[in-house]
Structure formats: C-alpha cells, structure tokens
Amino acid sequence: MACQAAAARPLRLSALCSRIQPELRTAPVPVPVPVLVPSRRNTNVQAATRAGGLKTINDLPGPSTARTLYWIFVKGYADRSHLLQDLQKSLYGPIWRSRFGSFDLVNVASPELISQVIQQEGRYPVRAVLPHWKEYRQLRGQADGLHVGTGPEWYRLRSVLNPKMLKLREVSAFSATVHNVVGDLLQRIEHLRHQSQDRTTVRDLTSELYKFGFEGISSILFETRLGCLQEQIPEDTLRFIAATGSMLMLSDLVTLFPRWTRSILPFWKRFVQAWDDLYGVARMLIDRRIAEINAQVSSGEPAEGMYLTYLLSSDKITRAEVDISVTELLLGGVDTTSNTLSWTLYHLARDGRAQERLYREVDSVCPHRREPTLDDIGQMPFLKAVIKETLRLYPVVPGNGRFVSENEVVVDNYWFPRKTQFHLCHYTVSHDEAQFVDPESFIPERWLRRQTARGQPVLFQHHPYSFIPFGVGVRGCVGKRVAEMEMYFALSRLMQHYKIQPEVGAPAVKPKTRILMIPSKPINLRFLPRT
C-alpha cells in the first residue's frame, strides 16, 4: 500500500483534476515541428527548445475545473479514475494537462511518451511529493523512509533494501515462510467452505486474501507470525490491520483540505494517530525480534534470521531507518498482491479452459500436490502468463507518477520546466488495442512463446512501456519478486487443491479505483475439492 499512497496518488489526483472539456478539442492547432525523442538523460532541452520551437505546458489541451467537477460529481468518475484515463486520451490525445485546486499534472498515455518521461527522470526519480507524510515524519522526528525520501539518501536506502528483495536467489530464502502462510490460507478456505450453507462457497474472497497478504509480507518482514488467518485474530494484529487501513484512507483525505481546517476537522489528528499506531506496532515487533536475537547470541547460538535480521545487522542503515522502511514495505505489500490474486481467481473461475490448463501444468510439474519450489515455478509458463494477464487487465496501481525535479524535460513536442508532475497512465496503455489484440479479454496465452512454421520459439513482443504494473527504473517496485513469489505459490497450491467456480448466478464484477484498482462488489467463489 505504500504503492497506493505514493505511486498511485498522482493518479487519484488526476481523477479529481483531469476532466474532459470537449470545447478544448478545437483549441490551438499544433504547429508541426520535428518530434524530439530524447535518447539520453539530461538532454539539453533548452537548446532543443530554441532550435525546435517546442511548445510549452500552456499549449497542452486539458479540462477546466468546472468540467472536472462535472465528471466527478455528475458523471460518477470519482471511483473510476482508470476509465477517465481512457476517456481523456480519446478526447485530448496521448498527452494532456489537468489542473484542480493546487494540483497541476501532465498526463502521458502512450508507451512512447511514458518512455520519454522515464528516460529523463534523472538519477534519483521521485514519484510525487508527499508533504503530509513528510510533515508527520518531522513531527515525530522519524527518518524519511522510501516514499518521502529523495536524492542520494533515498538511493542509499534502496541500495540496502534491494539486494535481499529483488534478487531471485535471495528471495528464494523466503520460500518456506511463504509456503507456511499459503498452508494457513488453504486451511482457512477449507474452514470457510465448511461453514457455508452449501459447504462450498467462500464469500468475499478479497478480504480473506487481504489477510493472506498481510500475514505473508509480515512473516517475511518481522520474522514472526501475526495470526491474521486464524479464527480468532490476536488483539495487536487487529490493531495493526486497522491502523494500516485508516492511515491509507486518511492519507488521501487530508490532502483535500487546507491546513487551516485541521483545528476544525478531525482528519489530520486521526491521520497522525493512525501513523502513530502503525509505527508503534511495527517498532514493538522489531523490538521483540531484537530481544530474540540478543537471547540467541547470549546463549551462544548464531543469530540466524531473514530480512529483518539482515537489516538490523547492516551498518549502512540506522535503527530509525529500519523502522520506517519495514513499515513502508508492509504498506506496499498487502493489498497489492491480495487484489491481484482476487482478480486472477475471479477470471479463472469464469474460464474453465484456462483453469484446467493451469491445473494440468501445475500437476505435471509438481505431482501429488508437492509444494512447488521457485525452480518448479520456472517450469510453469502458463502460471506466469495468468498473473501477467491479470496485471495487464487490472494493474493494481493503475497510474504512476514522476515529479521531475532534476531536469527540464522534453516530451513529444513540448518543453517542461523542472518540478513538473507527470502522471503515467499505464492502465490506458495496457488496455490499448494498438498494443494488445482484443485488450478487454482475459487471454493468458498472449504471453506464451509460440512456434514459427519452422518450429522456432517466438516470444510475444510488446512495447516495453506498454506493460509496467510494477513501475519502472530505479524507483520501480522493491517488492516485485516477493509479490510474484507469494502469488505463484498461492495460486499453484490453490489449483492443486480446488476447482474454482463462480457462485451460481453471480454477476460480473467490475473494478473501481480507491487509489488501487479493487473489485466493486464482493467476489464469492465456489471451491470444489479436487480428488
């Protein structure tokens, strides 16, 4: 959910900001000038501007504030900002400006333009400025952490966090932990099925997978189990889950109101309280682990552990930085994976052919319900294709941001000053039929290698910036490998145990955007045991 608050925030703002103003479609006809595609960072854009007669941000089309309000309040786009990307692109083309209150965004919605922004993002990219998070950190004297952090300090933090998170070999050390949590998920599903009237249906699967996501990432980060999937969830864990949800919900709210309202409205105080609770439980769990390590060391045992032990034993990161980094990793790792898994199961339940193909693949690589290793997963191309196709259809963070503060930037034929906030509309791009044939359909096969007439394997080639659900570049998602491992293990083992079907008469479920793309209705599925 760190992704939620930080990466997707510009999108949320654009949902509020960038609304359609058809009258502007007839506004200034661009004077054709040669397209300037920067091929390196730090392009000398000023020279390019003078030489190429580039246009500026003021020449961009975009909606008025009145139009924005109309789309939000009359047309109901407040929780469908992903669809607003499509609509605005169809009206303004692949680049447009959105302004609303103090927000001013440049939206780009083609792989070529996204790639141009990324090529000029600078050495230390920033997604979006998060002044309210920064203010909280200063209020409590905490370290900046991943989302608020910028420049070389942020980079130093990433260089400590990355190696054990982004290298496949290192991530495989978490396999046993994740399998334990998947085991609990299977038990929970079994329990819920038995409790249901038809002894088959699990209602509101997304909320169960949320608990799985929370337990999975915490077991890696805190090296302890929180009991999220138990029948009776422990008190501290409930407090932790509640604080996480409140903080993210309030984070969005506090930005909507000016500072002077803080003494009248309750949101800022609640935001601070939610952060205090969240950070407090995280610190308590870290303290507990430190006490265990100390006990191990004083009894002469080696202090073996995983991610937290590694961070605590690094001399490149302070204790305050460990506390905030682990908390932010947790925020990023809960409902990103759980929502993606929900959408995957939703589609497989409706597509018996794809589900059967997946089951056969898993069963052939891991017969007799053997727990897959990461090497086994390497032999399951269809499993990976299913997850990719789900992320293409439902990129859980549907838009990303880049606040380019190091350089001036040239995108398309426009010159932008430093500190321009770009919104990368990658939902629209991964739903564009120019990029993906039949883009609204769930077709995992599109990601598989095919054979040419001569029997040569060919991999489906898409533009590298037409599918970027985990972001891109040095600021890309730090949890990508862990997320993939959790999803691969959970999905493969669910397939080993159950055939999944929609509830009888279940309506189609569309996504809505509440920062993340989530199901607009509960997903209820039938789990039929495979014999």
Choose which of 7, 209, 247, 491 interacts with ligand HEM (CB under 6 A). 7
Q: Give the H/E segment covering residue 231.
A: none
Tell me the closest approach of the beta carbon of residue 58 to ligand HEM, in angstroms.
Answer: 27
514's tokens: 């509440």
Sole window of 134-142, 223-231, 473-481, 522-530 interacting with ligand HEM (rule: CB under 6 A): 473-481
Give whichever of 82 and 147 is closer to ligand HEM, judged by the CB atom.
Answer: 147
Which of 217, 366, 385, 410 touches ligand HEM by CB under 6 A?
217
Q: According to CB under 6 A, which one of 285, 483, 485, 509 is a site residue for ligand HEM?
A: 483
Tokens at residue 506, please? Answer: 């279940």
DSSP assignment of 315-341: TTS-HHHHHHHHHHHHHHHSHHHHHHH
Using a 10 angstrom Cβ sphere, with 0-12 exposed, 13-18 middle and 19 or more buried, the burial of residue 170 is middle
Out of 215, 321, 328, 361, which residue is the one contacting ligand HEM (CB under 6 A)? 328
Which of 495, 156, 114 lies closest to 317 in space, CA to CA? 156
Binding residues for ligand HEM, rule CB under 6 A, total 29
Q: Name the one range near ligand HEM by CB under 6 A: 34-42, 334-342, 344-352, 374-382.
A: 334-342
Cβ of residue 455: shortest distance to ligand HEM, in angstroms? 35
The rounded distance, in Å, linking the Cα atoms of 88 and 18 is: 8
Q: Which of 82, 475, 493, 526 binds ligand HEM (CB under 6 A)?
A: 475
420: enclosing H helix or E strand: strand 420-424
Parallel, antiparallel or unpaired: strands 457-458 and 516-519: unpaired
Q: Tell whether residue 211 is a contact of ligand HEM (CB under 6 A).
A: no
Stretch that binds ligand HEM, among 324-332, 349-357, 360-368, 404-412 (CB under 6 A): 324-332
Residue closest to 133 by CA, chosen among 121, 122, 142, 123: 142
Q: Which is nearer to ligand HEM, 68 or 336 (CB)?
A: 336
For the annotated binding site, the residues are 477
The verdict on 332 binding ligand HEM (CB under 6 A) reads yes
Distance CA 18, CA 63 (A): 6
C-alpha 279: how far from chain center? 21
**383 touching ligand HEM, by CB under 6 A:** no
Draw the binding track, 339-358, toward ligand HEM (x: CB under 6 A; -: no contact).
-x------------------
> Least distance from C-beta 209 to ligand HEM, angstroms?
12
Find the part of the chain contacting ligand HEM (CB under 6 A) among 1-9, 261-269, 439-447, 456-464. Answer: 1-9
Nearer to ligand HEM, 49 or 177 (CB): 177
From candidates 286, 396, 518, 525, binder to ligand HEM by CB under 6 A: 396
Of 501, 492, 509, the C-alpha closest to 525 is: 501
| 20, 96 contact by CB (below 8 A) | no
Nearer CB in complex with ligand HEM: 162/294: 162
Handedness of CA 171, 173, 179, 181 (dihedral sign): negative
The DSSP string of 126-158 is -S---HHHHHHHHHTT---HHHH--HHHHHHHH
CA dist 518 and 511 (Å) reads 5
Compute the least distance from the CB of residue 10 to ligand HEM, in Å.
Answer: 10
Annotation: binding site for heme: 477
Q: Taking the complex as a whole, how short is the minimal distance between the CB of residue 256 and ligand HEM, in angstroms?
A: 22
Q: What are the CA-CA distances from residue 74 to residues 67, 70, 71, 366, 493 (Å)?
A: 10, 5, 6, 53, 45
Smallest distance, ligand HEM to C-beta of residue 244, A: 13
Binding site for ligand HEM (CB under 6 A): 2-3, 7, 127, 146-147, 158, 217, 328-329, 332-333, 336-337, 340, 396-397, 400, 469-472, 475-479, 482-483
